[in-house]
């Protein structure tokens, strides 16, 4: 995508390639600034003080004591979810059901956490989270490869079903509900995790964040290696670019696609386990536990343009919006502005590469880059018999 | 077993459930008819949801300003077109992945509606049913079909209009051809992406209108709330798939999903609340699983068109 910029970095940049790089950078900066300006204009239009909004966002996310640790805490599941998105996208699958996969993963993790204890149980919590998410995404994979249901639709519908499903799990005391004797109206939450199954916190200068944050960064590297340097990753990439060629070369389409979708869901589920073990919901599983982390993680991957390492800073910025928007109430501006900013940022990052590709096509440089990630889902892969 | 049979007959004989079914089905049909046109042109528009949200919110606000239902519906349709234009140009001019654009728009428009609602609160009337003389007295289904507020009746001309546009005009032929074989359409001189954009704009107008009808013309809704659309756009897409990309099937799909929404709302059957709440979505999954494979879909569905690429 950034071919011009990359080409210029090798050797001495010629004048034209330097200019091209400047255009690329300028376009990105321009688009992001435009997105933020639109958001500021929206705040101003509704009569809010946009300077105060910005300052409250920064206070809540970085400046106040202990806040950047909280932001790191929030960034961790976002990053893990985003890595899962990238895996599916690489295979040309559009998994947009992370919100549900995360909830089911967290529910599975909760079940392990309240039924077992000890340090091994903590590992079990993460494995259960992964499996829960993977199975939920597996439903979409089955529908995709057996019944040809577009995974865009099925994963999305499964988000809603997951919310009800986890709600049902919480309404049954033999599953997840914490039943308290003598209480008339049982609150539908799980039992609190005992300290042995919580992740440890790293404390730096008055900030504390879980070690899962470090693990998530390692996972980003691992996913990058997996996709770039392994046979499986290469097959996925081929499948994503051209399923027909991939099949003719001998990539097991169903196996590769389904495993990508399940790994994708599994990472979302593991993110749910990480949230739970790091204290989301007060170490309990509650209805609405996923709290939009799945959706936002999805956006992180879009902004990072499906590069695992780029997800790390983007996840942090999105976590800043999460933690910062909690401080907005003092300014009287609705928290939902954070949602608008997020979506605008995504658009701002999508437009420049597409514009550049369009310009290349217009200038007759051939099809330098195709801005597409979706496998043509309508066309069944047919092999000449 | 007899309990099930009894409740089933209750469900079939209750006048209220038919009314509520038609209400849901009409809203779904507004969106689904538009989506049907867009899909025939080759776009799987998941941003249909955002068209509806935009239409619903803007229509409600416009009603608060002008106190006129026709004007408010027009504003709803217009905002639907505006949101659709974003989807259209991003996905069929810049050729950014249509699902990515759609998802982002869904989040953006929902966020915008929530945010702007804090400043310009939506105001809606209590809709009055328009009873068509004599016909509304038909037992069982009379009130459901002929006793609804008038904006819902707009679906009656819309469905044949969509059919006529697609099967009786040059434009419709071109729409269908870009959905089935964009390369061939391109060499025969049709501007593929332009036609696809126009189809999306049509979908935007229909879905925006549907959103407007939802908040202005439905007894029992009473005003605008942010969550009113609640994945109805996605269910409308499922209805198109259910209908096998035919208009007749799409409308039947809307009725089927409308029935399950009504069933869910009426809580006639004593099943656990979570299962009841997720019923329409489970049914949507199940029917797409049954029908997605059998029917012939537009061959270039969800594929971007870039000249010279394939």
* Domains of chain A: residue spans and CATH: 19-362 (1.10.3470)
pLDDT confidence of residue A2: 40
Average pLDDT in the A8-24 region?
Answer: 70
| pLDDT above 90 coverage of chain B, percent | 50
Q: Is A40 on the interface with B (CB under 8 A)?
A: no
Q: Is B217 left (phi over 0), alpha (psi -120 to 50) or beta?
A: alpha
Contact B116 A46 (CB under 8 A): yes
Average pLDDT in the A326-330 region?
Answer: 82
SS3 A204: strand
pLDDT confidence of residue A375: 41
Model confidence band, residue B246 (pLDDT cutoffs 50, 70, 90)? very high
pLDDT in tens, B61-71: 999 898 889 99
Average pLDDT in the B101-116 region?
Answer: 92
Contact A351 B116 (CB under 8 A): no
Closest chain A residue by Cα to residue B241 = A149
| Mean per-residue pLDDT of chain B | 86
Smallest Cβ–Cβ distance between B272 and the set A163, A168, A373 belongs to A168
Contact B285 A158 (CB under 8 A): yes
pLDDT greater than 90 at residue A261: yes
| Mean per-residue pLDDT of chain A | 85
Calpha distance B307→A97 (Å, rounded):
32
Say if residue A313 is exposed, middle or buried (CB neighbours under 10 Å; 0-12, 13-18, 19+).
middle
pLDDT greater than 70 at residue B105: yes
Q: Which site among A374, A375, A380, A382 would you substitute to test the B interface, given the most B Cβ atoms closer than 10 Å to its Cβ? A: A374
pLDDT in tens, B173-220: 999 999 999 999 999 999 999 999 999 999 999 999 999 998 887 765
Give the phi and the psi of residue A208 in degrees, each rounded to 5.
-130, 140
Model confidence band, residue B48 (pLDDT cutoffs 50, 70, 90)? very high
Q: Which site among A287, A378, A379, A382 would you substitute to test the B interface, given the most B Cβ atoms closer than 10 Å to its Cβ? A: A378
How far is the alpha carbon of B53 from chain A, nearest alpha carbon, in Å? 14
Calpha distance B47→B42 (Å, rounded):
14
Contact A152 B99 (CB under 8 A): yes
How far is the alpha carbon of A335 from chain B, nearest alpha carbon, in Å? 8
Contact B275 A168 (CB under 8 A): yes
Residues of chain A contacting residue B301, judged by C-beta atoms under 8 Å apart: 377-378
Q: Where are the beta strands (DSSP E) in chain A?
A: 201-204, 207-210
Smallest Cβ–Cβ distance between A371 and the set B96, B115, B300 belongs to B96
Say if residue B3 is exposed, middle or buried (CB neighbours under 10 Å; 0-12, 13-18, 19+).
exposed
pLDDT confidence of residue B303: 86
Smallest Cβ–Cβ distance between B289 and the set A147, A164, A357 belongs to A147
Q: Which site among B92, B290, B302, B310 would you substitute to test the A interface, given the most A Cβ atoms closer than 10 Å to its Cβ? A: B302
Name residue, tokens 């990238």: A86
Model confidence band, residue A184 (pLDDT cutoffs 50, 70, 90)? low
| pLDDT above 90 coverage of chain A, percent | 47
Calpha distance A216→B94 (Å, rounded):
34
Ordered by where they begin, the domains of chain B are: 2-294 (1.10.3470)
Given a contact cutoff of 8 angstroms between Cβ atoms, the answer to whether A186 and A180 are in contact is yes
pLDDT confidence of residue A374: 42
Calpha distance B209→A16 (Å, rounded):
50
pLDDT confidence of residue B129: 76
Smallest Cβ–Cβ distance between A149 and the set B111, B288, B303 belongs to B288
Q: Which site among A152, A188, A329 would you substitute to test the B interface, given the most B Cβ atoms closer than 10 Å to its Cβ? A: A152
Contact B115 A342 (CB under 8 A): no
Q: Which residue has the higher pLDDT, A15 or B302?
A: B302
Q: Which site among A340, A344, A358 would you substitute to test the B interface, given the most B Cβ atoms closer than 10 Å to its Cβ? A: A340
Contact A167 B275 (CB under 8 A): no
Calpha distance A302→A82 (Å, rounded):
8
| pLDDT above 70 coverage of chain B, percent | 92
pLDDT in tens, A52-93: 888 888 988 888 888 899 999 999 999 999 999 999 999 999
Contact A164 B278 (CB under 8 A): yes
Structure tokens at B50: 């955002």
Q: Ranked by mean pLDDT, which of A216-220, A284-288, A319-323, B95-99 comes out on top?
A: A216-220
Average pLDDT in the B279-296 region?
Answer: 85
Q: Pairing relation of β-strands A201-204 and A207-210?
A: antiparallel
Q: Is A336 on the interface with B (CB under 8 A)?
A: yes
Calpha distance A81→A301 (Å, rounded):
8
| pLDDT above 70 coverage of chain A, percent | 87
How far is the alpha carbon of B205 from chain A, nearest alpha carbon, in Å? 22
Residues of chain A contacting residue B278, judged by C-beta atoms under 8 Å apart: 160-161, 163-165
pLDDT confidence of residue B310: 54
Closest chain B residue by Cα to residue A144 = B289
pLDDT in tens, A339-367: 899 899 999 989 998 998 888 888 765 55
Q: Which residue has the higher pLDDT, B59 or A326?
A: B59
pLDDT greater than 90 at residue B166: yes
Model confidence band, residue A182 (pLDDT cutoffs 50, 70, 90)? low
Residues of chain A contacting residue B288, judged by C-beta atoms under 8 Å apart: 143, 147, 149, 153-154
Contact B288 A370 (CB under 8 A): no
Closest chain A residue by Cα to residue B238 = A153
User: Across the strands, what pairs with B256?
Assistant: none
Model confidence band, residue A183 (pLDDT cutoffs 50, 70, 90)? low
Smallest Cβ–Cβ distance between A336 and the set B111, B278, B288 belongs to B111
Residues of chain B contacting residue A45, judged by C-beta atoms under 8 Å apart: 119
Look at A78-92, A364-378, B6-20 and tell me which has the smallest mean pLDDT.
Answer: A364-378
Q: Which residue has the higher pLDDT, B260 or A118?
A: B260
Model confidence band, residue A144 (pLDDT cutoffs 50, 70, 90)? very high
Calpha distance A127→A174 (Å, rounded):
21
How far is the alpha carbon of A23 from chain B, nearest alpha carbon, in Å? 17
pLDDT greater than 80 at residue B221: no
Short-list B107, B104, B112, CA closest to B87: B104
Model confidence band, residue A372 (pLDDT cutoffs 50, 70, 90)? very low
Look at B55-59, B101-105, B183-187, B268-272 and tell me which has the smallest mean pLDDT.
Answer: B268-272
Given a contact cutoff of 8 angstroms between Cβ atoms, the answer to whether B102 and B46 are in contact is yes
pLDDT in tens, A231-257: 999 999 999 988 889 999 888 999 999
Q: Which residue has the higher pLDDT, A371 or A274?
A: A274
Given a contact cutoff of 8 angstroms between Cβ atoms, the answer to whether B128 and B149 are in contact is yes
Closest chain B residue by Cα to residue A153 = B234
pLDDT confidence of residue A87: 95
pLDDT confidence of residue A309: 95
Closest chain A residue by Cα to residue B86 = A347
pLDDT confidence of residue A382: 42
Q: Is A349 on the interface with B (CB under 8 A)?
A: no
pLDDT confidence of residue A38: 93
Short-list A268, A340, A355, A349, CA closest to A86: A268
Q: Which residue has the higher pLDDT, A293 or B227?
A: A293
Q: Which site among B115, B179, B232 would you substitute to test the A interface, given the most A Cβ atoms closer than 10 Å to its Cβ? A: B115
Binding-face residues of A in 62-101 toward B, CB within 8 A: 94, 96
Q: What is the DSSP letter of A289?
A: T
pLDDT greater than 70 at residue A369: no
Q: Is A167 on the interface with B (CB under 8 A)?
A: yes
CA distances from A184 to A167, A176, A180, B68, B178 (A): 19, 18, 9, 49, 62
pLDDT confidence of residue B135: 74
pTM to 2 decimal places? 0.87
Calpha distance A124→A290 (Å, rounded):
20
Contact B103 A298 (CB under 8 A): yes
């Amino acid at each position: 995508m950034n071919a011009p910029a990359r080409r210029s970095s090798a050797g001495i940049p010629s004048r034209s390639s330097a200019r091209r790089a400047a255009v690329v950078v300028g376009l990105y900066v321009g688009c992001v600034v435009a997105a933020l300006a639109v958001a500021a204009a929206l705040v101003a239009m509704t009569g809010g003080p946009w300077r105060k909004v910005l300052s409250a966002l920064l206070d809540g996310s970085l400046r106040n004591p202990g806040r950047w640790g909280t932001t790191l805490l929030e960034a961790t599941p976002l990053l893990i979810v985003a890595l899962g998105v990238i895996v599916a996208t690489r295979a040309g699958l559009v998994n947009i059901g992370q919100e549900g996969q995360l909830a089911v993963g967290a529910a599975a993790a909760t079940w392990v956490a309240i039924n077992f204890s000890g340090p091994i149980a903590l590992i079990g919590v993460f494995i259960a989270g992964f499996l829960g998410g993977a199975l939920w995404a597996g439903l979409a994979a089955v529908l995709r490869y057996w019944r040809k249901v577009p995974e865009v639709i099925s994963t999305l519908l499964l988000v809603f079903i997951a919310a009800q499903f986890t709600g049902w799990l919480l309404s049954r005391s033999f599953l997840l509900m914490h039943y308290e004797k003598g209480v008339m109206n049982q609150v539908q939450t799980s039992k609190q995790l005992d300290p042995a199954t919580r992740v440890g916190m790293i404390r730096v200068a008055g900030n504390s964040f879980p070690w899962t944050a470090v693990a998530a960064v390692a996972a980003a590297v691992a996913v990058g290696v997996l996709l770039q340097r392994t046979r499986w990753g290469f097959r996925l990439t081929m499948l994503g670019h051209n399923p027909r060629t991939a099949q003719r070369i001998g990539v097991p389409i169903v196996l590769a696609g389904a495993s990508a979708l399940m790994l994708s869901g599994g990472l979302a589920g593991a993110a749910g386990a990480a949230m739970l073990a790091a204290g989301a919901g007060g170490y309990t599983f509650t209805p609405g536990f996923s709290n939009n982390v799945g959706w936002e993680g999805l956006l992180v991957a879009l902004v990072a343009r499906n590069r695992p390492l780029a997800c790390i800073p983007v996840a942090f910025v999105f976590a800043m919006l999460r933690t910062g928007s909690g401080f907005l109430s003092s300014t009287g501006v609705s928290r939902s502005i954070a949602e608008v900013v997020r979506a605008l940022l995504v658009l701002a990052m999508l437009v420049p590469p597409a514009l550049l590709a369009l310009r290349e096509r217009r200038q007759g440089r051939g099809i330098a880059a195709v801005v597409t990630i979706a496998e043509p889902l309508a066309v069944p892969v047919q092999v000449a018999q | 077993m007899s309990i099930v049979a009894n409740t089933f007959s209750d469900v079939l004989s209750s006048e209220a459930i038919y009314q509520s079914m038609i209400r849901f089905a009409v809203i779904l049909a507004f969106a689904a008819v538009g989506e049907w046109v867009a899909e025939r042109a080759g776009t799987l528009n998941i941003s249909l949801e955002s068209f509806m949200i935009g239409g619903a919110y803007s229509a409600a606000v416009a009603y608060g300003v002008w106190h006129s239902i026709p004007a408010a519906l027009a504003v709803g349709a217009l905002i639907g077109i505006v949101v659709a234009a974003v989807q259209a140009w991003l996905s069929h001019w810049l050729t950014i992945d249509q699902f990515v654009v759609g998802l982002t728009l869904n989040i953006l428009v929902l966020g915008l509606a929530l945010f702007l609602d804090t400043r310009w609160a939506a105001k809606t009337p209590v809709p009055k049913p328009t009873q068509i003389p004599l016909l509304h007295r038909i037992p069982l289904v009379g009130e459901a079909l002929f006793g609804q507020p008038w904006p819902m009746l707009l679906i009656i001309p819309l469905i044949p209009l969509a059919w006529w546009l697609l099967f009786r005009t040059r434009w419709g032929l071109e729409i269908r051809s870009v959905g089935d074989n964009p390369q061939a359409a391109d060499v025969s001189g049709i501007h593929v992406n332009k036609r696809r954009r126009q189809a999306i704009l049509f979908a935007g107008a229909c879905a925006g209108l549907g959103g407007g009808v939802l908040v202005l013309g439905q007894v029992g809704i009473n005003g605008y709330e942010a969550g009113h659309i609640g994945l109805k756009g996605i269910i409308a897409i499922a209805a198109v798939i259910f209908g096998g990309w035919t208009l007749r099937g799409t409308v039947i799909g809307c009725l089927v999903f409308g029935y399950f929404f009504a069933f869910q709302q009426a809580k006639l059957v004593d099943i656990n609340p979570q299962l009841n709440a997720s019923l329409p979505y489970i049914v949507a999954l199940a029917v797409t699983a049954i029908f997605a494979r059998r029917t012939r879909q537009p061959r270039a569905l969800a594929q971007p068109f870039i000249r010279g690429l394939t």
